[in-house]
Homo-oligomer: A and B are copies of this chain.
Amino acid sequence: MPDSLLIVGSVAYDNVETPGGRVENALGGSALFGAAAASLFAPVHLVGIVGTDFDRAGIAFLEERGVDLEGLETAEGNTFRWTGVYEEDMNNRRTLATELNVFANFAPRIPDRYRRDRIVFLGNIAPRLQLHVLDQMAGPEWVALDTMDMWIRDAADDLACVLKRVHMVVINDSEARALTGKTNLAVAARSILDMGPRAVIVKKGEHGVLLAVGDEFAVLPALPLETVVDPTGAGDSFAGGMLGYIAATGDVTVSGLRRALAYGTAAASLAVEDYSFNRLRGARREALDERYRWLRSISFLPDPHDQEHQNA
C-alpha cells in the first residue's frame, strides 16, 4: 500500500495566452497540477484554499483518483487568479496580473488525518507558511520544497530555516542562481546541498533536470516533444509525478530518485501537451510508463567498449 502524499500549494484560475491560442478561467496552481500528476501513483492529501467562486465540479476527477480534498478550505472572496502570456519560443512568459484574492490570507491548516503523512510536497508558497506546515507534521520522512525568486529576495531568513528542515529542493535554474549567487548550475546545486537538503533538483525547462545528491549528479533530458501547447504547470506536474512515485515506492536511493525524476519528466511532458491539466485529467499510469520508456531510449548511452559487438 503506497504512502499518502501531502501536497500544500496554490489552487488557481489561470488566464493563459500562448502563440497558439488562449484559455480563461483554466484550473491551475501548484497544488492542483501536483495532485493531477501525483494521483496517478499514490493517494494524495491536498491542502489549499479557494474562494466562494470556485466550482468543485472541475476537480471531481481528482477525487475519483483518490485525492482527498478535506484540506481544501473555502474562504469568502475569489480564488487566486494568474494571467500570463507565453512568447513565441515558450521559454519566456510574462505575468500580466496576479490576483492573490483568498490566497493572500492562506494559513495552511493540516487536517489530523494528514499529519502522519510521510511524503510532503511544499509547493511554492511563503517560506513562513512552509515552516507552519512542517510544525504541524509528525516527522515526515521526505519533504520536498519549491520556491521562487520573490521569496529568495524578500524572505531569505525564513527560507534558510525551512531549507534546513526539508530533504529535497525542486527549483528552476534562474532561482538556483538567485538563491546561491552562483552562475554555474553544478556549483549552485552543491551550494544548495550545503544549506540543508539531501537532494537538489534544478529544473531547466525544455533542457530537462539536474539532480545533485551527495557527490553524485544525474541529468535527465526533457522529452523532445514536437507539440507544446501550454507550459503552465510543467514544474508542478514534474514535482507531483516525482513525489507520487516516491510515495508509491518509498525509494529515495539514488536509483529510486532517478526513476522518480523520469516519472516526473513523463508527467510534465503530458501536462504541456494541452492547456490546464486537460491532458493529465484523462491520462493513465500506462501513458507515463510509455513516456518513461521513451525517455530511457533517448537518453541511453551504450557501453563504450561494446562497439565490435554492436557491429556484429
Instruction: Give residues in A with beta carbon < 8 Å to B.
Output: 88-90, 177, 183-187, 189-190, 204, 206-208, 210, 216-221, 224-228, 249, 251, 253, 255-256, 258-259, 262-263, 289, 292-293, 295-304, 307, 310-311
Asked if A90 meets B311 with Cβ closer than 8 Å, knowing A259-B304, A298-B219, A302-B258, the reply is no
- What 6 pairs across the A-B complex have the smallest Cβ distances? A219-B221, A186-B224, A207-B207, A89-B183, A217-B224, A296-B301
Measured between alpha carbons, how far is A233 from B88 in the docked complex, in Å?
30
Q: How far, in angstroms, from A227 to B303 measured CA to CA in the complex? A: 26
Contact among B90, B218, B299, B311 for A251, CB-based, below 8 A:
B311
Contact of A262 among B184, B225, B301 (CB under 8 A): B301
Asked if A225 and B310 sit within 8 Å, CB to CB, the answer is: no
CB distance from A142 to the nearest CB of B (A): 15
Which residue on chain B has the smallest CB distance to residue A209? B221
With known contacts A184-B228, A311-B251, A300–B258 Cβ distance under 8 A: yes
Chain B residues near A225: list those with CB within 8 A.
184, 186
Q: Which residues of B contact A304 (CB under 8 A)?
A: 259, 262-263, 289, 292-293, 296
- The 26 sampled A-B contact pairs (Cβ below 8 Å) are A184-B225, A184-B226, A184-B227, A184-B228, A185-B206, A186-B224, A186-B226, A204-B207, A207-B207, A207-B208, A217-B298, A218-B300, A219-B221, A219-B298, A220-B221, A221-B221, A249-B307, A251-B307, A251-B310, A253-B310, A253-B311, A255-B310, A258-B301, A258-B302, A259-B301, A263-B304
- Contacts of A253 on B, CB cut-off 8 Å? 310-311
Known: A262-B304, A298-B219, A299-B299. A310 touches B256 (CB 8 A): yes
A256 contacts which chain B residues (CB < 8 A)? 307, 310-311
A161 to B263, CA, bound (A): 43
